[in-house]
Amino acid sequence: MKYSYTKAIFLLLFILSFMFVSACGQTIVSEKVSDEESEADTTVIDSSETQVSPALPAVNNEHFDKAHKLMDNYQYEEAEKEFLLAIDELKSSGVADSEACMAIVKHDLGHFYLKMERYSDAYDYLLSSYVGLRDIYGEDSEHVLLYKTSICLYDMSIGNYDTALASLLEINEKVLSDEGKTQTTNLIGNVYLNMGDYDKAEAWLKDALAYANKTDYDTDEIYNDLGGLYMISGRNNEALKCFLSAEKIAQSKGNGVQEISITLLWLIWR
């Protein structure tokens, strides 16, 4: 995606790896590199208070569930239809929490359109989702603030980094929970990464990792982002350690995805 050099790097690595992997195999990492945790700074950051927000409702809708399953299977055209059916069904249901549930579905559909690079559609649904939740819970609700970061993600996707950064910094000041801080600091780090300010990107991504380590937040994506930062900065030792940490965490969830990238990075680095 356009908002992250790291994602582009991984795609390139994935494509190129097939040129090497059959000859070299994926065992090269285990033979050459010890499986150690990243040495990235994970100093604990204190959040003395946590802003309490009412829990968002669960979306109990068959079309919504089916849309996500279809996305997972790369059936994007069918997934879009199911998202739209879910919105139509919730709009006419009149059940309790239907407005909040509809906002959640719109949010996920907005992210779907970002993935498809349909940016105008993405913006419309992400904005509608944010406004819907803001009208229900208030603009200072942490859930609402974090949903607003999706609009920042849209700005990042189309290259409006200054706009995204200004909004994210403001949101980061208002969000107090460790989970919220993890999300905002990670996004801020990615903005600086895309802007080419690698020192600030590293500092913010390390902050994100520190917050994440205080929660149940999955840290594999943060390690991936740090690894991408180190790789484009020519710090291959640190990059490899981060990718190995990401792989270990991903495998613990049954979702190891970086083996080929790690192998290729080792081939280039050695």
Tell me what pLDDT residue 218 has.
78
pLDDT given at position 2: 44
Q: Within a domain: residue 76?
A: no
Q: How many angstroms separate the Cα of 111 from the Cα of each of 7, 142, 163?
A: 16, 19, 19
Name the average pLDDT for the chain.
81
Task: Assess if residue 83 is contained within a domain.
Answer: no
Q: How confident is the model at residue 75, as a pLDDT?
A: 96
Please tell me the predicted confidence (pLDDT) of residue 45: 44
The answer to whether residue 264 scores a pLDDT higher than 70 is no
Q: What is the pLDDT of residue 95?
A: 75
Higher pLDDT, 22 or 102: 102
> Residue 94 domain-assigned?
no
Are 54 and 28 within 8 A, CB to CB? Answer: no
Q: With respect to residue 205, please indicate whether it lies within any of the assigned structural domains.
A: yes
- Residue 225 falls inside a structural domain: yes
pLDDT number for residue 52 = 54
> For residue 187, what is the domain's CATH number?
1.25.40
In which domain, by residue range, is 183 found?
1-42+179-270
Among 15-19, 34-38, 163-167, 257-261, the range of highest mean pLDDT = 163-167
Residue 202 has pLDDT above 60, yes or no: yes
Beta-carbon neighbour count of residue 159 at 10 Å? 12
- Answer yes or no: is pLDDT of 269 > 60: no
**Position 213 in a domain:** yes
What does the pLDDT average to over 151-173? 97
Residue 70 maps to a domain: no
Share above pLDDT 70 across residues of the chain, in percent, rounded to a whole number: 74
Is the pLDDT at 13 greater than 60, yes or no? no
Please check the confidence at residue 195 and state whether its pLDDT lies above 60.
Answer: yes
Total domain count, the chain: 1
Q: 153 lies in a domain?
A: no
Instruction: Lowest mean pLDDT of 95-99, 129-133, 137-141, name the range.
Output: 95-99
Over residues 81-111, the pLDDT tens digits come to 999 999 999 999 877 789 999 999 999 999 9
pLDDT reported for residue 114 = 96
Q: Convert the pLDDT of each residue in 23-62 to its tens digit.
A: 333 333 334 334 444 444 444 444 444 345 678 899 999 9
Q: How confident is the model at residue 244 (pLDDT cuts 50, 70, 90)?
A: confident
pLDDT tens-digit series, residues 222-241: 998 999 899 889 898 898 88
Taking residues 205-225, report their average pLDDT. 90
